[in-house]
């Protein structure tokens, strides 16, 4: 065997040894696994309560898979805000330490800016870290540093917990009656439009209905008391899941075959479109161009 062969064999052995070092990394220990903040799975949480100084207490409850606000008023809850709080239960927070009660004031936890209960688990939020954007939080005697988006969710105003969805995508529309237009779903799933317009395509009509299903307001506020200048009646398919809230429907408006009816009030069209849900006592504010998108169905 010549010297070149021995050189190649030695190089192969060296490469194999380096590979083993990279794989097994002698002397290096795996990073410790950070446990979740609480032992609660998000799916097991059915009640959220928030207390903030100077603000009304907020109560949120899960019913038939949907979150509703039960206090300070009854309304559908904002799923984004709720999910932020649910994720807090399983957050993995690396920095935490024990602090005696006498030192909680140092971290703003003697007078917390917000207290959140996830079922019966209490989490308090205090001051912001002097350097990092994180905040101090207290849970079961331990002080944690938590990302600011959890604190932003816990300290959002009451109006920030209202759902911005006007009607909800989980409900099947059966008819839509506007001031100058009526759409009714036929047994085959197509839509009958009154007054009829042969220039309207099926896609345009379906898009119009979807615009209603997916309508999201820019903001939601308690009803201001302004007069209603027009009405909209939306009939949905009969409920197939028990336990969903059925508030706000006038007596006789729904039965086992016809399904529930939602009545909306038009408060204004300019400079913004404002629709009123009397069942929740809330106004839904949209940009002005949404008036033509939701209230008018014209051929393109």
Euclidean distance between CA atoms 248 and 88, whole angstroms: 33
Q: Which residue has the tokens 């990394």?
A: 25
Q: Where are the beta strands (DSSP E) in 34-172?
A: 47-51, 58-63, 66-71, 75-76, 96-98, 114-118, 121-128, 135-139, 142-146
Euclidean distance between CA atoms 239 and 253, whole angstroms: 13
Q: What pLDDT does residue 17 have?
A: 53
Euclidean distance between CA atoms 222 and 73, whole angstroms: 10
> What is the mean pLDDT, run by run of 10 residues, along the chain of 300 residues?
54 54 55 84 96 96 94 95 96 90 93 97 96 94 95 95 92 94 95 93 94 96 96 89 42 54 96 96 96 89
Contact call for residues 68 and 245 (beta carbons, < 8 A): yes
Euclidean distance between CA atoms 234 and 261, whole angstroms: 6
Q: What pLDDT does residue 171 have?
A: 85
Q: What pLDDT does residue 187 have?
A: 93
Domain ranges of the chain: 42-161, 173-295
Burial class (CB in 10 A: 0-12, 13-18, 19+), 166: buried
Euclidean distance between CA atoms 53 and 56, whole angstroms: 8
Q: What pLDDT does residue 184 have?
A: 96
Q: What pLDDT does residue 95 have?
A: 87
Q: What pLDDT does residue 244 have?
A: 45
Cα distance between the two ends of the chain = 84
Q: Which residues pair with 121 in a beta bridge?
A: 118
């Amino acid at each position: 065997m010549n010297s070149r062969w021995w050189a190649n064999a030695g190089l192969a052995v060296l490469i194999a040894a380096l590979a083993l070092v990279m794989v097994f990394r002698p002397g290096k220990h795996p990073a410790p696994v950070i446990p979740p903040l609480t032992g609660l799975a998000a799916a097991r949480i059915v009640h959220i309560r928030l207390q903030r100084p100077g603000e009304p207490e907020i109560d949120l409850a899960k019913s038939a898979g949907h979150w509703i606000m039960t206090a300070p008023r009854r309304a559908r809850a904002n799923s984004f805000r709720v999910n932020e709080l649910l994720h807090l239960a399983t957050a993995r927070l690396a920095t935490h330490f024990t602090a005696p009660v006498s030192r909680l004031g140092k971290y703003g936890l003697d007078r917390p800016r917000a207290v959140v209960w996830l079922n019966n688990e209490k989490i308090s939020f205090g001051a912001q870290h002097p350097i990092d954007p994180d905040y101090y939080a207290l849970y079961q005697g331990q002080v944690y540093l938590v990302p600011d988006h959890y604190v932003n969710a816990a300290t959002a105003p009451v109006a920030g917990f209202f759902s911005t969805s006007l009607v909800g995508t989980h409900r099947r529309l059966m008819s839509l009656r506007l001031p100058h237009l009526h759409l009714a779903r036929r047994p085959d799933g197509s839509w009958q439009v009154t007054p009829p317009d042969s220039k309207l395509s099926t896609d345009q009509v379906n898009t119009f209905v979807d615009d209603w299903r997916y309508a999201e307001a820019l903001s939601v506020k308690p009803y201001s008391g302004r007069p209603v200048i027009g009405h909209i009646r939306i009939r949905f398919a009969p409920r197939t899941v028990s336990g969903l809230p059925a508030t706000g429907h006038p007596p006789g408006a729904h039965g086992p075959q016809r399904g529930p009816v939602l009545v909306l009030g038009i408060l204004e069209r300019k400079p913004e479109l404002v629709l009123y849900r009397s069942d929740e006592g809330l106004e839904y504010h949209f940009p002005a161009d949404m008036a033509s998108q939701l209230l008018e169905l014209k051929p393109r």
